[in-house]
Structure 1
């Protein structure tokens, strides 16, 4: 347990490959996978590889700003939501920066517009790196 970063139930992270900075996320040990809110998800083939194209709102306070991204599709995963609904989601890999550290995580892309936090950090992304203190928020990051 030594050398693990202690985080709170809410933190802010950067996803530099997606041009997202200070993204407020829910740190959720009850969720296996991490997810990010995006719009207009389109899968396609290029040079024999599967790709995904999607829109992101980098400023949650200004939904008029839209950034379009295209990344390699790393796979698909069936995810059971908090309401017990099952959804097949596309999976990408991207770097996350949190508390002065950076590592690569898998992210499922979905519509989280009805959720309070547009990103959820699940167990798989935390494994071996983080310990969660649910009684605190923004332990290693600033409030946006």
Structure 2
């Protein structure tokens, strides 16, 4: 795979996301705002707004079960507490579950960062000289006809 790839998050209803592959980051991160925790059937969940696109901002309202809450040290050295969710990632012709931390990435060029844990799970190899090697995912969204 290349340094940047098209992905989809079908369980969250999102397709056509550009992701930056960051082998130096352990965790994957999804740009989110308006994060509100709530309880559903005795489990902890979050509602949040996912932000898509760089030139044209699109917002997508999501809900996901919380896997954990982690303290993450960002690239600028600041520690931040983040909710962690698990959802399916579609990349090329592969789909597998990964964990994302939810964080504000509005100052970052890419709204999605794929860390090394996600790559190891799928046994993917990155060639940083390439970009958009994989085809755009064409999975149908849950409930789509």
Q: Which moved more, 1:49-58 or 1:104-113?
A: 49-58
Decide which of 43, 51, 59 is 2:45's aligned counterpart: 51
Residue matched to 1:114:
107
Secondary structure of residue in 1 paired with 2:25: coil
Deviation track 1:36-68 (CA, whole Å, cap 9, x = no partner) reads 0011001122332111110123454443x4322
Structure 2 gap segments, 5+ residues each: 137-145
Normalised to the residue count of structure 1, the TM-score between the two structures is 0.87
| Counterpart selection for 1:36 from 30, 38, 41 | 30
How far apart, in 1, do the equivalents of 2:53 and 2:23 lie? Answer: 26
> Does residue 95 in structure 1 map to residue 98 in structure 2?
no
User: How many corresponding residue pairs?
Assistant: 135
Q: Which runs of 5+ in 1 are unaligned?
A: 1-6
Separation in 2, partners of 1:48, 1:15 = 25
Equivalent position to 1:22, from 6, 16, 25:
16
What TM-score, normalized to structure 2? 0.86
